[in-house]
Structure 1
Amino acid sequence: MKKIFVFIFLIFISITLTACEAWRDFTEELNAMEDTLLNQIPEYLNADFQLSIDDDYRVMYDVDGIISEDMYTYVSPFYDRKVDVKVKVSRGTSEVEFTKTVTLLSSDSGHNHYQINIHRDIPNETIMLDTYIGIRVEVKWIKNGITTTEVTTDEVKLRGRGNSTWYAYPKKPYRMRFDKNTSIFGMPEAKNYVLLAEYADTSLMRNAVAHKMSQLFTHLNYAQQIRFIDLYIDDSYQGLYVLTEQVEVHPNKLYFETLPGVIDTGYFFELDMRFYEWQLEEGNGWFLVDRHPYEIKEPDPEDPAYLDAQAEFLQNYMYRMEYGLTVAGDYEEYLNVDNAIDFFLIHEISKNVDVGWSSVYMMKEQGGRIEFGPIWDFDFAFGNTDYIDYGPENWYGMRDWKNRLFGLMMARPEIRERFKLRYQWYMNDVLPELLIMIPILGESFASQAEHNFEKWPRYGIYTWPNPNEMLEANTHEKQIEYLKDYLEQRSLWILQELEYTRYAQGNFGD
């Protein structure tokens, strides 16, 4: 009986103390915490964040309209911008709110100060184009104001990559391959990463702008992420690089089932006219459709279970799609037109030289239709190719001597009308964001760009295939202005051209 009495008494005391806590006024105590709490909030916010505060207090975060409890969960904006971080702290019935204005960084902002340090296992071992060498890598960045080493591992390899970019330029591009799926700088876990040197693009951001564009086009199947990083090899500075994802089918990125030995499976393939340059023949994953060569990437043609009949199946499907575009009119049974329009809009707006040459990736899921993407290889775009009609005027990708499928699509009046409607959406919803984003992104890595050009002088120096406008833009700021102005002028020219009778009639100036 005595034990029961003690137990009841303890419960009574607990309830009484809780009630006192609930009704006590903590406002003065909470207000006294303002400076301490606000000083914990970083000036540049680019990762999850939690205030260091006693468990007796409840904290709510409101950052850019995203409300969370106990911890702020970072969501990347499209570009860096000032935001108010509102912190609501409560205890009992008392509640106060503090506000601090900070810069919310985009995940691809130069202000993140991404850095990759590579050390070769064998000092001074030559880095080859096609052969991996062993390395140790250290990945670090400034995370919420604190320099943080994110990954340190020797389970990784390095080799060169590219074709003309490897042989033509002194600043080399690379491919980095981890032994297991690894996330760096918040990118999806994967083994393969690409380091783009961007030597011929003095803005250093044409590929970045194209990938940022693809994030806004809602009918594309996947948008590659990019990061501006300072690269060091054996403690020697190599320049500013654009780190991006390898184009591939991967469970953490673009994924669908591709089975060797199964005819109606998923396929990932590429238009690549270098087939003729390399003097290849059909087979081993290569097939032709009206003399246009395609290479199957997945399923892997090197897999013992892979069948030549799989290439024949895809080849016949492509021919049937072309027949639908040219004769039968049932092309939508074989082609995702909305997806194709988004894909070719980005190519046409940027006037990308490779639209009919290579890096035109396509996919077909089991039982599904042909789709395009992801986009890739835009350093020779946005007015940076002197061997074509590179100016902001005139049509490009749908002409007879460029991309055949784009041309077949645009030969149909109903697709031209859909292209026009989608373009008007682009002008209203996408272009304004891009014109704000470009100078902000360019400014974010301006100091890193200058460091890059101290090692690799480029201003006013001709490098194939730079046009005169690139040579005349003799500062990084002017390079960004040229890129932005080109995009705006090109976009306005297309908008005007869409209203002319010649567009309605399918006359693109051939």
Structure 2
Amino acid sequence: MKKRFLFLMCVIFFAIFVMSACEAKPGPVGATGADGPEGKSAYQAYKEKYNYEGTEQEWLQDLINGELSTLPEHLVTFDPNNGELAFTQSIKDGEKAKRPSLPIRDGYTFQGWMYDDGIAEEIWNFGGGSITEDITLIAKWDYATYELPIININTDDAEIDSKENYTDMTFSLENCESEFFDLSGGIRLRGNSTSKYGKKPYRIKFDSKQPLFGLKKAKSWVLLAEYLDPSALHNYTAFSLASQMPGLGFTPTPYKVNVYLNGVYAGLYTLCEQVQENEGRMDIELDEITEDMVDLKDFNFFIAMDWSVTEDPTAILDETYFYLEEYDQYFELKYPEKSQFVSQQQFDSFWAQLKAYVKEMMQAFENPDVEANKEKIQNEVNLNSLVDYLIIDQIMGEQDHAWKSFNMYYTNTSSDQENGKLNFGPIWDYDWCLYTPWTGSPNEDYTVSDEIAYSNIFFTAVADVPEFYEMVKERYTLYASPALEAYLEQFDEIASSVTESVAINAAKWYTSFDPDLSQDNIDFLKEYLENRKAVLDDAWLVATD
């Protein structure tokens, strides 16, 4: 009897409640078909008014148990603004929203939940702000670090999945002295083996020439991903040292940058010039190729000894590269392109002469102690460039140049030591070096090597000919040893300038490795360079007046 009385009282109470809350005429109380506003059931009316999330059966049970609220409820929507789905809280009128757990976004620092009331944006105060209506709070983010320049690339979420075709983009460079905003152009993948890793290397081509970081204006620039180098300083070190070697006509200028792609942190990169024929870079570009150019040395040309060209789907045998079976080496023609020649006949003649010339030079370097070959090298090669290239590779412990990324060029339009000679350089590709064994994954070997090894036939020839080897000692003493000493004096400052960025990059790309991987590689690089200087000083340093 008592239970029936309590149930009847609940039903009577709710009938009064429904009439006031839903402004409905009384009907069969508790019946889900009772008319509410616009013919809605009591359940439907209550659900809409109070943002009730339960089923009709749950609603009836809550009604019986006296657990239904008479206060309106409001939805607070939280947009984490990090690619994840929004979520909501149902808050009673006049009460405070609950502070959710902190969202996460790679490469950014969370600033708070922003509220826009139509007049101004402000960070929501969870301790003081009461909820009186449905609102949306959006996560506000800032860059995780401002220690380096920041590059923002926007493709409107279009994929960058080709090494041939550029994806339209806008490009901004900020947090540096020479800022640029919304430059138009294209971006594509670059590299061979490096493009297979999750962290992608890119080539950028602006619609018009741009002087990034105050460098010579150009359309094409490169973003090196350097996934295999957790220190992120191998290329930076090699390029910095090579810039002090006057025999190398052009060396890319490296800048460490943090890159964001469509608002997503892409990682720590090295931005530098594209190695190409261009004013301010390799100044070998011809005004035009004319039909009276018939001999090989009427042209300027840029080639690379590079086995990885065979992995390039755009490469064409005997059109963009050739193979010398006697030396098991591939050579890629980087400039000029076939389309620049006046005719197929002219290109065919150039190509045949180029292959013969490279083979002839290889034969000379293969037996440099033969007097005729030694004289040929002395007369036709810019030995300063070759010796300086060798020295940089020995400092860096570079081994890939035995078969790839080994550049050389010929020019007859230069007014300096390069003119009419085969030049070696520009240097390139130091992601994997320091004489560490190849693993195909980021370096975890910290064994310092004392080895002095010559990776290719050109370097071996220099080491085998006493006159050439004396040049190594002289140029190391005059240029390389002082440059390396100066770099080591600055090393801690250089490493400190990328500390935050290296850690953020590691948190994105090296999650399956030791958390100290990047810092360990930085420490190893310093130890390696200090030891390397001692080894090479002992081998090559000569007394000077």
TM-score by length of 1: 0.66
In the alignment, residue 150 of structure 2 is paired with which amino acid? Q
Within a 5 Å distance, the mapping from 1:80-119 to structure 2 comes to 113-119=148-154
Determine which of 429, 444, 449 is the counterpart of 1:392. Answer: 449
Aligned residue number for residue 232 of structure 2:
204
Q: Distance in 2 between matches of 1:355 and 1:149?
A: 36
In the alignment, residue 333 of structure 1 is paired with which amino acid? N
Task: Return closer, same or farther for 1:178/1:210 CA change in 2, 3 Å cut-off.
Answer: same
Aligned residue number for residue 350 of structure 1:
396
Is the counterpart of residue 274 in structure 1 residue 308 in structure 2? yes
Determine which of 446, 450, 460 is the counterpart of 2:499. Answer: 446
Task: Return closer, same or farther for 1:343/1:300 CA change in 2, 3 Å cut-off.
Answer: same
Aligned residue number for residue 251 of structure 2:
223
Shift of 1:493: 2.2
Conserved 8 A contact 2:506-2:518: no
Task: Return closer, same or farther for 1:315/1:127 CA change in 2, 3 Å cut-off.
Answer: closer
Is the counterpart of residue 127 in structure 1 residue 156 in structure 2? no
Q: Distance in 2 between matches of 1:387 and 1:126?
A: 27
**RMSD, matched Cα:** 2.8
Shift of 1:385: 3.8
In the alignment, residue 138 of structure 1 is paired with which amino acid? S
Is the counterpart of residue 244 in structure 1 residue 272 in structure 2? yes
Q: Distance in 1 between matches of 2:337 and 2:166?
A: 20
Within a 5 Å distance, the mapping from 1:318-467 to structure 2 comes to 318-322=358-362, 324-325=364-365, 326=367, 327=370, 328=372, 329-330=374-375, 331-366=377-412, 368-386=420-438, 391-396=448-453, 398=454, 402-426=455-479, 428-457=481-510, 461=513
Q: Distance in 1 between matches of 2:200 and 2:285?
A: 34
Task: Return closer, same or farther for 1:113/1:438 CA change in 2, 3 Å cut-off.
Answer: same
Q: Distance in 2 between matches of 1:136 and 1:276?
A: 32
Q: Distance in 1 between matches of 2:317 and 2:162?
A: 28
Aligned residue number for residue 302 of structure 1:
339
In the alignment, residue 152 of structure 1 is paired with which amino acid? D
In the alignment, residue 253 of structure 2 is paired with which amino acid? Q
Shift of 1:316: 3.3
Shift of 1:135: 1.2
Determine which of 160, 164, 177 is the counterpart of 2:189. Answer: 160
Shift of 1:211: 0.5
Q: Distance in 2 between matches of 1:496 and 1:227?
A: 32
Q: Distance in 2 between matches of 1:235 and 1:203?
A: 24
Aligned residue number for residue 176 of structure 2:
142
Does the residue aligned with 2:215 lie in a helix, a strand or coil? Answer: coil
Q: Distance in 1 between matches of 2:228 and 2:203?
A: 18
Q: Distance in 1 between matches of 2:341 and 2:468?
A: 41
Q: Distance in 1 between matches of 2:204 and 2:398?
A: 26
Does the residue aligned with 2:271 lie in a helix, a strand or coil? Answer: strand
Does the residue aligned with 2:404 lie in a helix, a strand or coil? Answer: coil
In the alignment, residue 166 of structure 1 is paired with which amino acid? S
Q: Distance in 2 between matches of 1:166 and 1:312?
A: 32
Shift of 1:418: 1.7
Shift of 1:384: 4.3
Is the counterpart of residue 484 in structure 1 residue 526 in structure 2? yes
Q: Distance in 1 between matches of 2:449 and 2:347?
A: 45
Conserved 8 A contact 1:116-1:138: yes
Task: Return closer, same or farther for 1:441/1:340 CA change in 2, 3 Å cut-off.
Answer: same
Shift of 1:341: 0.2
Aligned residue number for residue 321 of structure 2:
286
Q: Distance in 2 between matches of 1:187 and 1:385?
A: 36
Shift of 1:130: 2.9
Determine which of 205, 210, 223 is the counterpart of 1:177. Answer: 205
Does the residue aligned with 2:331 lie in a helix, a strand or coil? Answer: strand
Q: Distance in 1 between matches of 2:451 and 2:247?
A: 25
Conserved 8 A contact 1:287-1:311: no
Q: Distance in 1 between matches of 2:435 and 2:309?
A: 27
User: Which sits farther off after the overlay, 314-323 or 175-184?
Assistant: 314-323
Shift of 1:126: 4.8
Task: Return closer, same or farther for 1:211/1:316 CA change in 2, 3 Å cut-off.
Answer: same
Shift of 1:455: 1.9
Within a 5 Å distance, the mapping from 1:65-76 to structure 2 comes to none
Shift of 1:476: 4.2
Q: Distance in 1 between matches of 2:312 and 2:260?
A: 34
Q: Distance in 2 between matches of 1:211 and 1:272?
A: 20
Residues 442-499 of structure 1: per-residue CA shift (max 9 Å, x gap): 11121122222222235x82xxxxxxxxx6x926444322101111212322333459
Conserved 8 A contact 1:283-1:308: no
Residues 14-51 of structure 1: per-residue CA shift (max 9 Å, x gap): xxxxxxxxxxxxxxxxxxxxxxxxxxxxxxxxxxxxxx
TM-score by length of 2: 0.62
Is the counterpart of residue 316 in structure 1 residue 351 in structure 2? no
Conserved 8 A contact 2:381-2:421: yes
Conserved 8 A contact 1:272-1:360: yes
Q: Distance in 2 between matches of 1:368 and 1:432?
A: 34
Q: Distance in 1 between matches of 2:477 and 2:234?
A: 23
Aligned residue number for residue 535 of structure 2:
493
Is the counterpart of residue 189 in structure 1 residue 243 in structure 2? no
Unaligned runs of 5+ in 1: 1-109, 462-470, 500-510
Does the residue aligned with 2:478 lie in a helix, a strand or coil? Answer: helix
Shift of 1:225: 0.9
Q: What percent of counterpart residues are identical?
A: 27
Conserved 8 A contact 1:359-1:376: yes
Q: Distance in 1 between matches of 2:199 and 2:312?
A: 25
Does the residue aligned with 1:241 lie in a helix, a strand or coil? Answer: strand
Shift of 1:420: 2.2
User: Which sits farther off after the overlay, 169-178 or 325-334?
Assistant: 325-334
Unaligned runs of 5+ in 2: 1-144, 413-418
Within a 5 Å distance, the mapping from 1:245-264 to structure 2 comes to 245-258=273-286, 260=289, 262=293, 263=295, 264=298
